[in-house]
């Protein structure tokens, strides 16, 4: 995702929270997001990247072990 896409998603999330809680106070919005376990879009993307890369790493190690076992 590029920066403009992330900003657009971030704006959409903030706008949803503003309408849901009927406030423009950023402290209230941030507190509500924290209490509901919501993160910023960039944090969510970073978490997904880490999860994806760890799965890829695990799969690569398993495949490497399989190749080593098959060659013997």
DSSP 49-64: HHHHHHHHHHHHHHHH
Distances (CA, A) of 35 to 6, 28, 31, 40: 22, 10, 6, 13
pTM of the model: 0.61
By the 8 A CB rule, do 38 and 23 touch? no
Q: What is the pLDDT of residues 17-47, one digit of tens each?
A: 999 999 999 899 989 888 888 888 888 888 8
Give the C-alpha separation, 17 to 15, whole Å: 5
């Amino acid at each position: 995702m590029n920066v403009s896409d992330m900003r657009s998603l971030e704006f959409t999330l903030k706008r949803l929270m503003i309408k849901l809680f009927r406030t423009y106070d950023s402290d209230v919005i941030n507190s509500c997001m924290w209490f509901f376990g919501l993160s910023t879009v960039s944090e969510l993307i970073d978490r997904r990247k880490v999860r994806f890369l760890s799965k890829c790493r695990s799969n690569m190690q398993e495949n490497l072990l399989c190749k080593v076992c098959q060659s013997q």
